[in-house]
Amino acid sequence: MASEKLASKLQQRLHWEEVDGGLQPAPRAAPVPEPQPQPSAWAPTTRADAELSAQLNRRLVINEGAARPRRCKVFHPYSEFPEFSRRLIKDLESMFKLYDAGRDGFIDLMELKLMMEKLGAPQTHLGLKSMIKEVDEDFDGKLSFREFLLIFHKAAAGELQEDSGLMALAKLSEIDVALEGVKGAKDFFEAKVQALNSASKFEAEIKAEQDERKQAEEKRRLRQAAFRELKAAFST
């Protein structure tokens, strides 16, 4: 036991040194800090590069005046597309809602596929993507109602290729503007010209809608009166 204590004291003694006449603990070497791993530089993914490139390309197109810049979130079709009559916009909206099977306010690729098949002009998968891309202002891969109206705007302005899918959609949409209150025009393109040349078109259409509502209300009132008379006749 004594030998073990002696050995322990000797080992302690070896860790001390004499400094200025006194025994002070020998300074220990400062620990060498372990190298920390350097953070790797973040590299953007391919998808992020593509999205950034698309945004920059669109900004370039807008600056060159070749595309309409995106508007605010509140969409006013009558002011943004003044060349269209109110009735025409409403019928195009009805058509849009007809093919918006998801009722989310958009026509996605599969819904566009169904639309083109119904119109008798089926498209390939790449063709459908190309159709959406041509008017897809917010790059979400689907058509909003504004982008849907933009198809017809481009068609009327001659900005679509004759054999393109969007031109087929515009021609085959069967919007009979002769029944839409646009002065009996035979097709959409003639309707656009007549609408642009009509004075106070917007106010006249509002008045026409009000007259239609009044007529419908009068017919409903007459039907109710006739029903009451018929009921009274059977009651006597």
| For the chain, domain boundaries | 77-172, 182-235
Residue that has been written with the tokens 């018929």 in this structure: 230
> 172-209 burial string, b = 16+ CB within 10 Å, else e?
ebebebeebbbeebeebeebbeebeeeeebeeebeeee
Cα-atom radius of gyration of the chain, to the nearest Å? Answer: 38
**Mean pLDDT calculated for residue range 206-215:** 82
Give the pLDDT mean for 64-84: 71
Q: Give the CATH superfamily of 77-172.
A: EF-hand (1.10.238.10)
User: pLDDT of 39-72, one tens digit each?
Assistant: 554 555 666 677 777 767 766 665 565 555 454 4
Q: What is residue 222's predicted lDDT score, i.e. its pLDDT? A: 81
Strand partners, 16: 25
Task: Please tell me whether residue 21 adopts helix, strand or coil conformation.
Answer: coil
Distance CA 112, CA 98 (A): 11
Q: DSSP secondary structure string, 37-64?
A: PPPPPP---HHHHHHHHHHHHHHHHHHT
**Confidence (pTM):** 0.49
pLDDT tens-digit readout, 161-210: 989 999 999 988 866 433 443 443 445 555 555 555 554 566 677 777 88
Those residues whose C-beta lies under 8 Å from the C-beta of residue 72, and which sit 6 or more positions away, are: none
pLDDT of residue 5: 66
Position 78 pLDDT exceeds 70: yes
Task: Name the DSSP letter for residue 13.
Answer: H
Does residue 126 surpass a pLDDT of 80?
Answer: yes
Most distant pair of Cα atoms in the chain: their distance: 136
CA distance 20 to 22: 6
What pLDDT is stored for residue 33 in this prediction? 61
Identify the DSSP state of 198.
Answer: -
pLDDT tens for 144-161 read 999 999 999 999 888 999
State the chain's mean pLDDT as an integer.
74
Q: For residue 220, give both structure tokens.
A: 């409903």
CB-based contact 112:180 (threshold 8 Å):
no
CB 142 within 8 A of CB 106: yes
Identity at 91, one-letter amino acid code:
D
Q: Nearest to residue 151, comparing CAs of 208, 92, 196?
A: 92
pLDDT at 152: 92
